[in-house]
Amino acid sequence: MGIQRMRVLVVSEVSGYMHGGVPAETGHLIRGLAARGHETALAGDISVPGGEAARLFPITIPTGPRLASQLCEAVQAFAPDFIHVMAMSSTGVARISRELRSHAWALTCHSIPPYERKLPALHGNEAAHYAARSLRFLMNSQAWKWLFRRRAMPHVIVHSEWVRDVVVRYGYDRDRTSLISLGCHEEPQARLANRRSDFPDGPHIVSTGGIAHTKGQHDAITALARVRHRFPKLRYQIIGEVRDGSYVAFLHGLTERLQLQDCVRITPNLPHEEKQRALERADLYVQPSHEEGFCLAYVEAAAIVPRLVGTDTGAIRLISEGDVAARVVPVRQPRELAHAIEGLLTQTVPDDVMTHRMRRLNERFGWGRYLDAHEALYRRLALTVESSNGAARQFA
């Protein structure tokens, strides 16, 4: 084929109304591909922010039995060289895999059941919560294992080694996977303030991301009850989209039990500009997640906030590697979180920490590298399918 410019159809069953996550990545991908001269289309419910360049082919979300026919209509009308299924349930993959057999395509797995799935109950008992969740999503997990073992998708893209290990453990071939890290933007005026180790008004600590049990905000609140003995004026702001109302209620109850009402603020669904201002004021950013496919929120905060504390899930350890102002602790360990937070707050951050961090992050996680990897994969898989289809026609 030897094409330089491609026609790429992106498919997602995650609603474009969702903030961050899959829609944010989809927008980055479409905008980047369009800037490089590729023609793009999106099969989804609405256009996503940043993805305005893509021709929209509406599909019904939540998806149902019409998914395959709606996707076929988009494929026939757009005639893509490559189809990138950005997000799809196991039922959706089963519905479309037969229709896509003669096309070049790949599936991005951001997470796989039961991981990162929400259970609106048992928030006060970790063992019971996750055991019940495993039972709740047992059939979903089995469905994915069946799809992986029968190679229903020709190739799988993941954003962290953590997710790739799950994919392989569920029965898929490691050599059919590609690990492509998400990107980060270099801040033209990276935050250089808030490097001090004395906080006359109390340290300002921030978390962003979806508000749900797997994001572990309750561990951060528990940890800060300890840190408050050293920093009685500390302030902690939780920013994000509410994914589970029962969990938000649990966080409010926990805050009251620990008598932290005067220093913990839960501010859901803030506009982007307000979130950015909160990050710019922050002395420390904490990501207490239990499970992450990558953690775009953490790498975005790393470009703004001088001190970082995260848990060892997704790509957080890789993002933090070699950073003198970052600490990574085991998941679900509030005591370790408290120790890391207190330790960083008692240290003065070096003047050049953001310069070195942004250089390192752009080398490892630049959006240019993300786009390069996708382009190369698209072309390789498209050439493979074209050769296969040509051979099939020759011997038909």
Residue (of 131, 275, 140, 120) closest to 213 by Cα position: 120
Tell the burial category of 208 from Cβ atoms under 10 Å away from its Cβ (0-12, 13-18, 19+): buried
Residue (of 212, 207, 290) closest to 246 by Cα position: 212
- Which pair of tokens denotes residue 263? 């220093």
Question: For residues 219 and 288, what is the distance between their CA atoms, to the nearest angstrom?
Answer: 7
Question: Cα dist. 110→15, 256, 341 in Å?
Answer: 15, 34, 28
Rounded to the nearest 10°, the torsion over CA 258, 117, 332, 213 is -10
Query: Which helix (H) or strand (E) element contains residue 55?
Result: strand 55-58
Q: Tell me if residue 335 falls in helix, strand or coil.
A: helix
- For the chain, domains (ranges, CATH) are 7-183+366-394 (3.40.50.2000), 204-362 (3.40.50.2000)
327-336 pLDDT per residue, tens = 999 999 999 9
In this prediction, residue 305 carries a pLDDT of 95
Does the pLDDT of residue 192 top 90, yes or no? no
In this prediction, residue 21 carries a pLDDT of 84
pTM for this model (two decimals): 0.90
89-126 pLDDT per residue, tens = 999 999 999 999 999 999 999 999 999 999 999 999 99
DSSP 283-334: SEEEE--S--SS-HHHHHHHTT-SEEEEESSTTHHHHHTT-TTEEEE-TT-H
Residue (of 35, 40, 48, 29) closest to 6 by Cα position: 40
Does the pLDDT of residue 188 top 70, yes or no? no
